[in-house]
Amino acid sequence: MRPIAPLRPSPIAGRWYENDPKKLAAEVDRYLNDAKLPDFAGDVVALIAPHAGHIYSGAVAGHAFVAVHDKNYDLVILLSPLHAPHPDSFLTSAHHAYATPLGEIIIARDLVNAVSADLEENLGFGITPIANDGEHSLEIELPFLQRVLPNDFELLPIMIRSTNVQELAVLGKALTKILRGRNALLVASTDLSHFYRQDQAKTLDSEMLHQIEILSPEGVLEAEEMGKGFACGRGAVAATLYAAKELGAKEVKILNYATSGDISGDYSSVVGYGAAVVLG
């Protein structure tokens, strides 16, 4: 068995976003600087951001991450889908750290293990570590975090295959135990509908964003099951909303919405992107 490298090798730098550190920093900063936020009150409990290549969803993602610009967090819990098939519900990186062109982000292994132990106790299974994963949806958010947060932070990354209400609710409660008493931020990574016409996409995405806005993890999952709305990271969003509600979240603000067609000009088959902030 080959040893696991300390750093997770990036499968997307240079393809999904800039590989040159200066160009990447400038690109992300442009998205952040261009974002205009509505007024909102309350503490930021969580963010929801899209995860396509920066050229497509970076402007929307900027609206989410600028909400925590210059805030200090010691820990970021980042939940995403795992797009590749896998038999297990919850997965994490087996590496010591994630690497982007902007530097390394250490994985909070002790906290990953604590969440996994909690899941083992309450579900009978924990979080499966995997090496050399090709998942883009988690990594794509990291350069934004590296540019908006002024201090070093540790990462608790979980990639989610489950869409089971019970499993996601238990994960949300397990994360709440980690979040309480810590200076931590929760981030969910998701895109919305895929490959519908622009008008259809807007209808589907409006329903999914509505369920997010009313803080309904069950509604997020049911919207997809009933074909009324779609989100590839619905498990990540649902677990985030479960955790946020446990922490006293009272409101969600939808900050921005667009589709790939707004960038490409092709409205015949688009992907939806939304940004939101969860407030306590």
Q: Which domain holds residue 72?
A: 7-279
Is there a domain that residue 224 lies in? Answer: yes
- What pLDDT shows up at residue 105? 98
Is there a domain that residue 13 lies in? Answer: yes
102-140 tens-digit pLDDT: 999 999 999 999 999 999 999 999 999 999 999 999 999
- What pLDDT shows up at residue 1? 55
Is there a domain that residue 190 lies in? Answer: yes
When pLDDT is averaged across residues 236-243 and rounded to a whole number, the result is 98
Q: Specify the CATH number for the domain of residue 168.
A: 3.40.830.10
Could you tell me where the beta strands, DSSP code E, fall in the chain?
Answer: 7-8, 44-49, 75-81, 90-93, 97-100, 103-106, 128-130, 154-160, 184-189, 194-196, 251-259, 270-279
Is there a domain that residue 1 lies in? Answer: no
Contact by Cβ (8 Å): 273, 247? no
> 10 Å Cβ neighbour count for 61?
30
Q: Which two tokens stand for residue 226?
A: 């009933």
Task: Give the whole-number percent of the chain exceeding pLDDT 70.
Answer: 99
Could you tell me where the beta strands, DSSP code E, fall in 142-235?
Answer: 154-160, 184-189, 194-196
Is there a domain that residue 2 lies in? Answer: no
| Closest CA relative to residue 149, chosen from 105, 188, 95 | 105
Is there a domain that residue 88 lies in? Answer: yes
This prediction has a pTM of: 0.97
Is there a domain that residue 223 lies in? Answer: yes
Count of domains in the chain? 1
- What pLDDT shows up at residue 41? 85
Q: How confident is the model at residue 39 (pLDDT cuts 50, 70, 90)?
A: confident
Residue 149: DSSP 8-state: -
Is there a domain that residue 185 lies in? Answer: yes
161-187 tens-digit pLDDT: 999 999 999 999 999 999 999 999 999
**Least confident segment among 34-38, 237-241, 271-275:** 34-38
Q: How confident is the model at residue 2 (pLDDT cuts 50, 70, 90)?
A: low
